[in-house]
């Protein structure tokens, strides 16, 4: 059974491997490493053997979070594991009192857009020519998920 756990910089080599396999224009090691700063949180999805299958990176400022990156190993996609990771990420944010989760996604990434919609994300805008492609650039779809939490007194 896969489990979601916090990541540390010691996981960076594994994260880089997943990133390079999962994305056509992957982040480099320096970019991934920079996401261990003060305002960032990382969660990893591990299999029973301790292999990192995927991860999420959040930037959290006050009561707002942005999903900076989420990816799964290509061979593990389409099995519900990305959903499991994203649901754990959302649950973690709710316990922290975060009010809203923002993200951007390639307009051509239909599986991810479908997952986000299924989990309640709504479309809020578009960033023209945001992502690189093999033939030029493509737009990013902006989405958000209100997390509706009750303030603790």
**Active site positions, annotated:** 104, 116
Distance of CA 56 to the CA centre of its chain: 4
Integer Cα distance of 138 and 24 in angstroms: 13
Specify the residue for token string 């951007």: 104
Integer Cα distance of 92 and 87 in angstroms: 9
Integer Cα distance of 112 and 8 in angstroms: 25
């Amino acid at each position: 059974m896969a489990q979601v756990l916090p990541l540390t910089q010691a996981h960076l080599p594994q994260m880089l491997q997943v990133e390079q396999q999962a994305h056509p224009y992957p982040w480099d090691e320096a970019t991934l490493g920079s996401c261990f700063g003060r305002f960032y949180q990382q969660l990893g999805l591990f299999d029973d053997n301790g292999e990192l299958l995927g991860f999420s990176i959040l930037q959290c400022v006050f009561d707002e979070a942005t999903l900076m990156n989420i990816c799964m190993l290509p061979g593990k996609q389409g099995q519900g594991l990305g959903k499991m990771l994203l649901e754990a990420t959302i649950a973690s944010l709710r316990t922290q009192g975060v009010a809203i989760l923002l993200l951007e996604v390639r307009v051509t990434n239909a599986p991810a857009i479908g997952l986000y919609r299924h989990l309640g994300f709504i479309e809020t805008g578009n960033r023209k020519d945001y992502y690189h492609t093999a033939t030029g650039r493509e737009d990013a779809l902006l989405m958000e998920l209100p997390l509706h939490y009750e303030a603790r007194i």
